[in-house]
Structure 1
């Protein structure tokens, strides 16, 4: 299936010279998935809502100062390849070209709607993410923004003093509070002062109750729930327990699942592939395979490597965070690390992944030994 019938020519476009204040008002009024930025009538880049939360650029700045490049696709490209491009580019929207001419855009939502009937074969347990970043109810909005920025995520579950799920705060919630005219008093009577919004507890801006999904729910059901309610993700909870966080499943997880392949080598997906630098995709795959080979009973079904660049630099080299996540027949395994340059960050993350894999191997060895002892005791 290609995206000829999925892409749309209906999109919001602005000139790169427009003030960011105008862009903010468009997001507030129309809530688009993204805005296309043009220079001289030609495509230049996109601006997403997420960027506003993660940026400190003033409203008087021009749109061109915030726009970012997005992966370009052709109207005849295959849906699976476009899904891969969106995930690896860390984008929810891509400009669609017909030859050299910008024809329109394609969104992750449009792809999910098109493949909905094919998602019954997967369950949430097949694709969800286990390790979840959380904040507490009294975490300040400013701290929540830093957490979103640090981990490169768009939503974070909120837990109460007992660690139970109590709400969800998203980039959209924060944008809504920051850009609106704060004339209505909130807890603490901080109305009307945007500067003080950052001091609000996330309890004041979070959504509650939280939309959840069970492990055995079909991915189709989960995606329908997300699309119908304009959610980007659902908290995954153990069956019959809607207060304990087992993980999270997002639209990006589903798009990533669309790219899974059955190849001779493991399928490695890299988010923000532009940050790879001197690293090659083949080197990344081979390094991960070497780690996995140390636990011979582990078979990797999919590997996801995510790079994120921070502002800090050392002699011109940016600080990079790398996260490696493996989906295997033995569950999920992960490792993360930071370093100056993608290769250093990757090696730190790889080292932590190896320790986690070997620890998993050691746990299994202990269980096998324990089983042998129990069998011997049973024979006495």
Structure 2
């Protein structure tokens, strides 16, 4: 299936100097799937409706201030390749080009809708993110903000004193509270108002109840629910207890599953690949394979490396967080670390990964990773 079968012409081009107030009115008046931003006639990036709705940037700001980078894809690219581009670019939308001309756009949701019926070959347990950061109801908003920033994530499940799931705190929830209360405060009161908000317990700003998915639920059913209610993800719970957190499954996890291959060597996927400078994808693949090869009984089906850039820098080099996740026939293994530059961060995470792999040695997974999804997706 070529991406041209999924892409849409429902987009609008705007100049980077156009006021955001005008851009908002375009979404209200024309309801496009996305907006392509150009600068001096050249493609510069994209703006999505959700991104604009959830932002609190003033209308007088220029469109360029809200523009996010999104890599180009070709009209003839296949679904698997485009899914990889979206995941590795950390974007929900990409421009589709025919030669040098902008032809249309493709969105994460459009891809998921197109392959929805093929996703019943996989269960949530096979693709979900197992290691999840959670907070308690009395964690204050300031601590939540730090955890979101430190881990490069947008949401945190909230647990009560018995470790029962009671809510979800998202970056958008917090921004809403801050902007609402700051608008009420006078200029002289604003410093104290910020401190008051940061001291609030997350219980006061979280969303509840929380949308969940069972471990044994089909990915098709989970995605259908996400699309119907416009959820970015679902909290994953054991089949016998929907108050316990087993992990999170997101639309990005599903796109990542679409990129799984049956190549001769291990498939490696890198989110925010643009942060790589002194290390290449091939260097990363070989380093992870060396760890896996130490334990011959462990077969790695897929590796995901996620890079997140912090604002902190050392002599111009940014502090990078690296998270590595392996999907193997022994279960999942993960490692994370931080360092200045992607190569340092990756090596710290790799050391942690190797220690965690030791825990999998001799532990058989409940079942070998099924090739059913790959076979079915091969029909696309």
Q: TM-score range by the shorter chain?
A: 0.7 to 0.9
Shift in Å at residue 39 of structure 1?
Answer: 2.2
Q: Is the 8 A contact 1:141 1:197 kept in 2?
A: yes
The CA distance in 1 between the partners of 2:28 and 2:170, in whole Å, is: 15
SS at match of 1:128: coil
Q: In structure 1, the residue corresponding to 2:105 is in which secondary structure?
A: strand
CA distance in structure 1 between the partners assigned to 2:14 and 2:177 by the alignment:
24
| Deviation string, structure 1 residues 337-367 (Cα, Å, up to 9, x no partner) | 1111111111110001011112332x759xx
Aligned to 1:152: 152
Q: For the Cα contact (< 8 Å) 1:33–1:93, is it kept in 2? A: no
Please say if 1:115 is aligned against 2:97: no
Structure 1 pair 10/244, CA: closer, same or farther in 2 (3 Å)? same
SS at the partner of 2:210? coil
Q: Write the distance in 1 (CA, Å) between the matches of 2:29 and 2:176.
A: 10
Structure 2 counterpart of 1:254? 254
- The offset of 1:136, in angstroms, is 2.5
SS at match of 1:102: strand
C-alpha distance in 1 between matches for 2:240 and 2:86 = 34
Deviations 1:302-339 (A, max 9, x none): 10011111111111111111110001111110011111
- Structure 2: gaps (5+ residues): 185-189, 365-380
Cα deviation, 1:225-281, whole Å, max 9, x if unaligned, reads: 111111111111111201110111110000000000011111111111111112121
CA contact (8 A) 1:238 1:245 kept: yes
Match of 1:299 in 2: 299
1:81 Cα shift?
0.3
Cα distance in 1, alignment partners of residues 31 and 277 from structure 2: 35
1:140-190, Cα deviation, whole Å (9 max, x unpaired): 444433332322223221112222110112344345545669899xxxxx9
Change (3 A) 1:29 1:313: farther
SS of alignment partner, residue 226 of structure 2? helix
Equivalent position SS for 2:346: helix
How many angstroms apart in 2 are the aligned matches of 1:283 and 1:113?
35
Deviates more, 1:293-302 or 1:7-16: 7-16
Q: Which residue of 2 aligns with 1:163?
A: 163
Compare 174-183 and 218-227 and name the one that shifted more. 174-183
Aligned position for 1:130: 130
Distance 1:252 1:233 in 2: 9
Deviation at 1:15, TM superposition (A): 2.8
* Distance in 2 between residues matched to 1:312 and 1:29, nearest whole Å: 41
Match of 1:344 in 2: 344
Give the corresponding residue for 1:268. 268
What CA distance in whole angstroms lies between the structure 1 residues aligned with 2:123 and 2:229?
20
* Number of aligned residues: 357
What TM-score comes out, normalization by structure 1 length? 0.83
Unaligned runs of 5+ in 1: 185-189, 366-380
Paired with 1:345 and 1:332, the residues of 2 have a C-alpha distance of 20
Shift of 1:25: 8.1
The answer to which of 119-128 and 165-174 deviates more is 165-174
Map Cα deviations across residues 9-31 of structure 1 (whole Å, 9 max, x no partner): 22354431244566678889999
Per the alignment, residue 7 of structure 1 pairs with 7
